[in-house]
Structure 1
Amino acid sequence: MNNTTENSRRSFLAQSFKSAMMIGAGATFAGSLLQSSAVFAQTGAAALQSKIAMLGTASLQTSQLALTKASNAQVKMFAKFEAAEQETMGKILKDMKTTVPAPTPEVKAMLTKLQSLSGAAFDKAFMQGQVETHQKLHAAVSALNAASSDLHVKHVTSLALATITEHTERGKMLLNQLG
């Protein structure tokens, strides 16, 4: 009987670990928005979530544009992964009944600028925008992490911050390669 209990525990822990790894691998910064309702009651948390949603939408829109306009294969691949990530985020936000704010004038200007560019100029401007957006995302998710007392939110935002940092660094490396 003890062996059965031990095997059940091991199976449970193994499955939990596998699930956590799968969630972690696909969460990217998406996890930063999976807050419990307690987080929304905290001062500024709703504003931070709104900012994170707006930045994610900006990243999606520019990445979708890059899928058709990017000339560099690595830039196009970055855009493909970023668009897929942000589409998933959009579904999560919709399920959470989160209202995504209208794009800021800054985001609108970035989209207008990107639409007017092509070739290497587009690639460089797109990657610069991605780096800047990810830096802003990092600041917003960090602020949400600091503002929350919910342990789950702290864990998920910590995971998101690691992924955002990776995207920022990859974006910087690609931007440097573009010259």
Structure 2
Amino acid sequence: MTDTHAGVQPLDPRQLGAYFVLREAVSLLEHQVEQQLRADGDISYVQFQLLASLTNAPGPLTMTQLADGVVYSRSGLTYQAGLLEKAGLIARGPTPEDERATQVTITGKGRALVERVLPGHVELSRRLLFDPLSDDDVRHLGDIMTRVRDHMRAQPPRSAAPRKRRPTSPAATQD
């Protein structure tokens, strides 16, 4: 790749190759996982992430904690949570410590759905991701991806970023 921006060092061929192989592998895995979750539970991967996060949490989570955990926008999470709540898979309500925050809990129906789709999810993950790897490869992959994730998460969470304000039109500001 050529240097199109002054001062930006281009990726070397190995870095560029690794980047594209990673993106392709993730895309292939996400596509297969999405199909499996739709077939086995009629849910999307994001919905599965939300349900799995709630299943593994020691108690209710706030919407902000869920958004940060699954790396999803506030508005997108609100929409997905609305769908899950309408389906009876989660319940939302005010947080006792802060009425402005919304806490989310998984329902029995939500737990049952996770238990139903999880075996297929595990089988697919094992077959596509782990079967071609040795135990040593898995350890190295885990170490590498943990470092990368931790580096990325060192930035403030997306939910902590200030919301962008829409510019007001000149007509809206006139008397």
Normalised to the residue count of structure 2, the TM-score between the two structures is 0.31
Larger of the two Rg values belongs to structure: 2
Larger relative contact order, structure 1 or 2 (CA cutoff 8 Å, min sep 6) = 1
What is the TM-score of this pair, normalised by structure 1?
Answer: 0.31
